[in-house]
Chain A
Amino acid sequence: MITLLQLELRLLLRSPVWWTTAALAILLIGFALTHGHREHERRIDNRTTMFVEEQERLATMNRLAVDMRGMNPEAAGRRFGFRYAAKPELPLDFAVTGLSDLQSDILKVSTDPVEEWLQAHEWENPHRLFYGRFDLAFVLTFLLPLAVIALAAPVLSEERDRGILPMLRTQGFSLRRILVFKLAVRYSALTAVVLFALLAFASLPLATRPLPLGLIVTDMGMLALLSAAYLLAWFCIAGLVVSFTRGSAFAMGTLTGVWVALLVLLPASVNLVLDAADSGPGRFTYTDRIREVTLEAEQQAATEMGQFYHDHPELLGRVDEDSIINYSIGRTAIMLDVEHRVAEMAESFRESQLQRNAAYRRVAPVLFPLHFQSGLMSLAGTGMERHVHFLNEVSRYHRLYRTFFFERIVRGDRFVEFHRIPRFAYREEYLAVRWGRVVTSGLLMLTLPLAVLLLRLALWRHDSD
């Protein structure tokens, strides 16, 4: 074993491929993390500016309201008293863009229906969204497997070309053992380099984050484990391919084919099939139905209001305190009625989306890079699950905010309490839930490649060269 180790280390250290791969891995991880940190700082600056504006606006409105001896709470809740609800930071959100360039992590909450403010995304060039960002997730998911291919493809064929293989065989090493040993050494070397780069380049940005040290250390540990597991999965695939092929060029070609299939063609194809097979209502139908329902509710409200004024002609055309209160109550009631009717529709649309996601999960075990991506997003909090949690929290806050104003609208108060408008308080998911998702993704990612390689090794009878 010592002989094999010495031989492998000597081969690796003399290989220009190894040095190039290691240097590129460090460079790319460093660039991705530094770049991600800069983007993150810009986001935080924007967030700070928004909260300063909120403070100043509420203070100004409070003074104005006192001067005016109160204002209409309906207008205050809709136009002047809105507050921002921000998704709190997690240690690695700067490293993994995930879906954060598509989702708003800060929302403007008012008494208006959710749909009014949920669609307000940050400005972004659609071409940039199309190509994606150069972040750590991209480097780890797409580029690191290429390093694995470069390092693992020549395994065995290198020894064959140099004529060392028969010598090793005479010392009692089986091909299986040589393959596993060589891959293990290369895997350890590459993993060490990647972990070193992660630690070196993430330390500085993490040191500036106002987050508990324990959380940072644990999340970094999880990132290290997840990355190591992903590399292991790719080394398993590489081992499998190398065990079947005899030339390094062929192994490289096959592995590149696997890479293209797993990271480009299959996810895109599955997505295309799901899109084409999706029989649920699309956004156009959804919008059409929502509009129908909304107009029905408004029509009904208008008829009832007309009947009311028909019964009380003395109130028609009056612009006084009571009529404004009545108008505010009427408007709020219509809004709530519309929302109530729309909720059913929205639920059926969400149901159709869930079915799509379930279909995707059924095919996903084969596509293990997707699990890695999903694990990274869960860890960084930039995936779908944490965003859904954030939206639920915002919905909870939205109800609280509305209750605060609706009570005053119904009571007919003159509003002067801008300083008392409830603030958004985010209840973070339990750590175990987030980490559970990461661990599940890691296990799902590793199971299939590892099982396939082990099976191949167990059944490998062809032991001659």
Chain B
Amino acid sequence: MVPWQTILIVARAEWLHLRRDGRFQTASILYALMLAFAAAFAWMHHTQVEAERLDAQTSERERWLEQGEKHPHAAAHYGFYIFRPLHPLSWLESGTTPYLGTAIFLEAHRKNEVVFRPIDDGTGMERFGVFNLATVLAVLLPLLIILVFHDRLSTEREQQTLPLLICQGLTPGGLFFGKLAAGCLVLALWLAAAAGVAATVILVSGVSLLHWDTLARLAMLILTYGGLGALFLSATLAASAWARSSFNAVGLLLGFWMIGFLIAPRVLNDHAARTLPLPTRFAFELAMQEDLNDRTALREVLTAETSRLLELHGVDDIADLPVNFRAINLQLGEEHSNAVFDRHYNALFDRMDAQNNFIQRQALAVPLLAARAVGMSMAGTDFNHHRSFIESAETYRRLMQRILNDDLLLNPETAEAPYLAGRALWEQVPPWEFENPPFRELRGGLGWPLATLVLWNLCLPLAGWFGVRRLFLNP
């Protein structure tokens, strides 16, 4: 009999056995209930928050357009809030969203911070974790796999059925990979249910699944958690083969799960924070303020620009220039502070990125961290997406200032007759729109986590196979 035929026969027998197993049925029902619960409530919350955000954003835009006649620089300080939109898939995995601000006030001279973190308005219970589809797939699914499969090989020995199987000519590979194949079928069914629930909710919410980016993200998210599930399946069968009893196998697997789920993420994050510390807010603000106050370079640029303009227009006094010199002053001031903001904030965010990369490299031993990193990235709820939002908001703020200052430049004024702009100018500032980074840009940062998952998925089946070979030598 060729090996794949053996695998198929074992898989079929295993599947039959699983279908009659009460644990499998209970696990499937529990899993389905959890999926439905997580999807329904997380989506409800998501739509509620998004609707509120859209209302607030529309009101802000209206207020901006209806602000009446005023000096462009007064309008620059009048400013407006922009609110971070949630990614259409963020209800699947809320990730770091509760810990990040949701609104940012855009105005002249200042790069304000993103404020109003959802966690600040919570009950404090959020620290115990949040419940969503990713929780079911990353936390509950491995536990269900352990529950259903922990004794699939050890019972063959405990119930003395192994010698019978050996007598029938079964090979270690046939037994292990046959059981693994049946397990993969179960996993595929469970994942298909998760994908089905996710796709249904997305379709109901009006997001097109034909949109390549959403589809690719959803597929990658499900596949990643599928990879994590497959890894736990291999680990469970391997432990079942190696452990002396089912009790020991459960203990070993729960230990593996707890280390991956509870201990390692905290230890590694703390370790990263110690190895690559962030500046304190106080030190950060002090250093930035010092650079903002240092206007030597700005003065030089301003002097050069003044000379250039005076020469260009053939006049001796700024007051005689056909343009509004105040606008030039304001714009150069903006550019000076923009350079300072970029330097300091980029250094801070790069350090956070470095911490995250450091954790991913250290997390080779903790596949759950790798899976969660990919999951958050696909759902648009990791720090990189937040950084994109901050950068988009800042680019928009600069555009807004540029439009207002350009208008002021063309409208000279005096103290007696200040220039007032109106709705026509406010409309020149386009409505803010945020595009999440496309899927193809995310792939680069996911190499390490995905490699971690692949590596584990290659090594664990081998470990299981060796375990079964050992069982065959000493049945």
Which residues of A does B touch, CB under 8 Å? Answer: 35, 38, 42, 46, 49-50, 53, 99, 102, 119-134, 138, 142-143, 146, 150, 248-249, 252-253, 256, 260, 263-265, 267-276, 281-285, 287-288, 291-292, 295, 317, 353, 356-357, 360, 370, 373-374, 377, 383-384
Contacts and interface: CB of A to CB of B under 8 A. Distances in A.
A119 B121 CA distance: 12
B273 to A, nearest CB: 6
A42 B246 CA distance: 46
Contacts of B120: 102
10 contacts: A119-B115, A122-B281, A123-B279, A131-B265, A133-B269, A253-B250, A283-B121, A284-B53, A292-B59, A295-B63
B38 interface: yes
Given A143-B262, A292-B59, 6 more contacts: A126-B386, A127-B383, A131-B266, A249-B250, A282-B52, A287-B56
Given A129-B96, A263-B128, A271-B130, A284 B143 contact: no
Nearest to B118: A283
B102 A283 contact: yes
Contacts of A122: 280-281
Interface stretch (B39-47, B195-203, B212-220, B232-240): B39-47
Given A46-B282, A282-B52, A288-B56, A249 B143 contact: no
B99 A129 contact: yes
Most buried by B among A46, A133, A283, A360: A283
B254 A125 contact: no
Contacts, number: 198
Interface in B119-172: 119-132, 135, 139-140, 143, 147
A133 B37 CA distance: 28
Interface residues of B, number: 86
Given A119-B115, A124-B278, A265-B131, A132 B284 contact: no
B123 A357 contact: yes
B447 interface: no
A272 B52 CA distance: 18
Contacts of A356: 123
B192 interface: no
A50 to B, nearest CB: 5
Contact of B55 (A267, A283, A284): A284
A9 to B, nearest CB: 23
Contact of A132 (B98, B250, B266, B355): B266
Considering the complex of A and B, which 6 residue pairs feature the smallest CB-CB distances, nearest first?
A: A268-B131, A267-B128, A126-B96, A134-B266, A288-B56, A284-B56
Given A288-B59, A317-B415, A249 B247 contact: yes
A130 B99 contact: yes
A256 B265 CA distance: 20
Contact of B280 (A46, A126, A130, A384): A46
Interface string B93-105: 0011011111100
Given A252-B250, A272-B45, A370 B125 contact: yes
B103 A284 contact: yes
B270 A249 contact: no
B246 A249 contact: yes
Nearest to B34: A265
A273 B44 CA distance: 10
B302 interface: no
Nearest to B68: A299
B139 A264 contact: yes
B352 interface: yes
Contacts of A317: 415-416
A356 B121 CA distance: 10
A133 B270 contact: yes
Contacts of B15: none
Most buried by B among A102, A252, A356: A102
B56 A285 contact: yes
Given A271-B131, A284-B102, A123 B55 contact: no
